[in-house]
Amino acid sequence: MTDETDPAVTSEELQELFGRAPLEASARGFRVLPATLREPDVFFMAPEVSLDDALDVAVAVAAAFVSIGEEFFDAAEFLEDFDEVPPRMRNAAGSHDGDRTGIDVRWIAGGTSYAYWAKAAWWRDLTAELEEWREDTDGERARAGDASMARAQQLIREAIDDAGIRGAKPMSRKPVVEAFIRNRMESADDIGASYALQWAPGRVAEEWRSVYALLEQTSGPFIADLRDDPEWQRAKWNASARRDVLRRFAMSRTGGWAPTDTWVKEMDAKTAPSK
């Protein structure tokens, strides 16, 4: 990570180094050739290591030539992945657009690659500031995301537990769930409620299917208890009244979840008395 402890030089020192590097290299008998060299095995950093010392190493290892390069700052590229950078940071980057960010002197000797690199202090500081802002922003977004998810789960649980939603007809329950969530939205920016609005109808349907699947698995005791129910006994010869009793009895066994009309008809066919 780039921070204020990384070595760097002023813009004036960087310009001086770039102007002096070819002269110092020639003075040591090196040809200065443009070349693309792989990442260095040995890395020297200004100002901790001087240009003179680095070139003396090149002489000592019998390098055939040195390559001198420079890098320039592109403000648009530097900020291209960030849409919400603070204006002060954007202005600071723009003020350095096209400025030299660093120079490097590279060579290879005996199969080992070397590089001497100097970078501008303003580039180091701007990069460190951007990284710090990004980390802070990512942290804030993560915390906001966690809070939004927690709120969404809370609203979904409230919808699942709501007696009105449980008692609504399954085929027409979705708008009831959506209205329940909308009535609890704190603002247009309530992200947690927006998530809940998307997910709650499906979660409610899953819960309903789960309880009726369990009821189907225990249909034997359910049917026996239904037929023993005094209210069902009184209504058993009236199909309409009997089905109303069946619906209410099913809801009493599922925590208030209303069955579909199809389920009531099918279960009534199984439980209706024989004439």
* Structural domain includes residue 133: no
* Structural domain includes residue 154: yes
With both helix axes pointing from N to C terminus, report the angle between 121-161 and 191-217 in degrees, rounded to the nearest 10: 40
Both 235 and 254 in one domain: the answer is yes
- Of 215, 233, 256, the residue that ends a domain is 215
* Structural domain includes residue 124: no
With cut-offs at 50, 70 and 90, classify the pLDDT of residue 85: confident
- Please tell me the distance from the alpha carbon of residue 165 to that of residue 257, in angstroms, as a whole number: 8
Both 209 and 234 in one domain: the answer is no
Phi, psi (degrees; rounded to nearest 5) at 153: -65, -35
pLDDT above 90 as % of the chain:
68
The pLDDT value recorded for residue 105 is 95
Q: 119 forms bridges with which residues in the sheet?
A: 102
Tokens representing 65 are: 């030539």
Q: What is the pLDDT of residues 31-61, one digit of tens each?
A: 999 888 888 999 999 999 999 999 999 999 9
Instruction: Extract long-range pairs of 11-17: CB within 8 Å, 24+ residues apart.
Output: 11/99, 11/100, 11/120, 11/121, 11/122, 13/46, 13/47, 13/118, 14/100, 14/102, 14/103, 14/118, 14/119, 14/120, 15/100, 17/46, 17/51, 17/103, 17/118
pTM: 0.54
> Locate tokens 């010869």: which residue?
237
* Structural domain includes residue 260: yes
Tokens representing 200 are: 């709650």
Both 187 and 255 in one domain: the answer is no
Q: Which domain holds residue 26?
A: 11-119
- Of 169, 188, 215, the residue that ends a domain is 215
Three-state SS string over the chain comes to: CCCCCCCCECHHHHHHHHHHHHHHHHHCCCEECCCCCCCCCEEEECCCCCHHHHHHHHHHCCCCEEEEEEEECCHHHHCCCCCCCCHHHHHHHHHCCCCEEEEEEEEEECCEEEEEEEEEHHHHHHHHHHHHHHHHHHHHHHHHHHHHHHHHHHHHHHHHHCHHHHHCCHHHHHHHHHHHHHCCCCCCCCHHHHHHHHHHHHHHHHHHHHHHHHHHHCHHHHHHHHHHCHHHHHHCCCHHHHHHHHHHHHHHHCCCCCCCHHHHHHHHHHHCCCC
Mean pLDDT (the chain) is 90
Both 188 and 224 in one domain: the answer is no
Both 19 and 113 in one domain: the answer is yes
> Locate tokens 């005094």: which residue?
230
Total of domains in the chain? 3
Both 208 and 224 in one domain: the answer is no
Both 21 and 81 in one domain: the answer is yes
Q: What is the pLDDT of residues 99-154, one digit of tens each?
A: 999 999 999 999 999 999 999 999 998 988 888 888 877 777 778 788 889 999 99
- Of 215, 234, 254, the residue that ends a domain is 215
The pLDDT value recorded for residue 203 is 93
- Please tell me the distance from the alpha carbon of residue 79 to that of residue 131, in angstroms, as a whole number: 11
* Structural domain includes residue 86: yes
